[in-house]
Amino acid sequence: MLPKFQLAEPGSIDEALELMKDEVDRPILMGGGTNLLVDLRNRGKAAGRLAWLGRIPELRRIEVTKDRVVLGARTTITDLLRRAELETAGPSLLHSARMFAGHMIRNAATVGGNICYGSPAADVVPPLLSLDAELTLASPSGQRSIPLQEFLTGYKATARRPDEILTSIGWPRPPAGAANMFHKLGLRKGDAITVIGVAVTIAVENGHCSLARIALGAVAPTVLRAKGAERLLEGERLTSAVIAEAARHAAQVCRPIDDLRASADYRRHTVEVLVRRLVARAWEQACVAHPRDRSAIRATGG
């Protein structure tokens, strides 16, 4: 049984913001409820008030234009799977959606909820970081945008202010010559919490890596970017030696924990292996996508 609570069902963002003005009885926001309701059940004590955002149509949308993608924050994981354009506009995100929990959870869980919950194992977050995603938050006093990276401030902690609602998530479409991919290591393929999640973007120009993004999930209190490793790749021709060095660097910035799914040592070791493999694969794919740079593939030595 769930503990007692009141439930508001705002029908618009304005109605929801009106509720957020109430400092005394400010509601806990609920997207799909797949984390929140489980937590409330475990906690067992009365929860005051929730606000379910599921009756606000404008929060559930996917806009794909020539150069940008925007998701309403209450877009579900299943909604992502039904948008074929994401195959090129957000391939790593689409891949993570396929690996996300189980079928019924994918129907309920939302992209915005997965971000705002602040879990380091959140499956949509490494892909969105690798895509340079930006969040838009609304509050009774206005609206602001913040890079996803700055939003993640700690374990289950975010930069969302108490009266703010995450309304949308946007990112620039990856350029034609870029490869963007995700790998989830779990104990099973389905219905599994991530042991390590790695998302990578590699763009190539004139035989050199023009842009590198490496995002790591479940290996630190927040999902994080391996910026040092990215800098080792950018501007370089990605030989296996360069990739191996960047992967070592990425493993060094992790601060993993021991838990029932894996030891910290295993995570540190394996994150290096996964980064190395994923960057090599992304480099190869980016070079193939960029015909002039096909000759660069040979540099990696397979």
Partner 1 sequence: MVIEKQVTFIVNGRRHKVGLPAHRTLLEALRDLGYVEVKCGCEKGDCGACAVLLDGEAVDACLTLAWQADGAALTTVRGLAKPGMEHPLHTAFIQTGAVQCGYCIPGMIIAAKALLEEHPDPTDEEIRRGLSGNLCRCTGYVQIFAAIRSAAVALRSEGELT
Q: What are the residues binding partner 1 (CB under 8 A)?
A: 1-7, 9, 32-34, 37-38, 41, 50, 52, 54, 78, 98, 101-108, 189-191
Shortest distance (Å) from residue 192 CB to partner 1: 9
Shortest distance (Å) from residue 239 CB to partner 1: 35
Shortest distance (Å) from residue 47 CB to partner 1: 8
Write the DSSP assignment of 123-139 as a string of letters.
Answer: TTHHHHHHTT-EEEEEE
The CA-based dihedral angle spanning residues 43, 46, 49, 54, taken in that order and rounded to the nearest 10 degrees: 50
The three-state secondary structure class of 221 is: coil
Shortest distance (Å) from residue 87 CB to partner 1: 16
Which of 106, 213 has the CB closer to partner 1? 106
Shortest distance (Å) from residue 77 CB to partner 1: 11
Which of 37, 264 has the CB closer to partner 1? 37
Which of 109, 297 has the CB closer to partner 1? 109
Q: Which amino acid is present at 73?
A: A
| Euclidean distance between CA atoms 242 and 279, whole angstroms | 10
Residue whose entry in the numeric block shows the structure tokens 């991919």: 181
The three-state secondary structure class of 229 is: helix
Which of 9, 245 has the CB closer to partner 1? 9
| Euclidean distance between CA atoms 25 and 233, whole angstroms | 49
Residue 198, both tokens: 């790695």
What distance lies between CA 157 and its chain's CA centroid?
Answer: 15
- CA-based nearest residue to 77, from 101, 53, 55, 56: 101
Shortest distance (Å) from residue 206 CB to partner 1: 39
Which of 109, 209 has the CB closer to partner 1? 109
Alpha carbons within 13 A on the beta-carbon side of 30 = 24
Which of 4, 298 has the CB closer to partner 1? 4
Q: Which amino acid is present at 174?
A: P
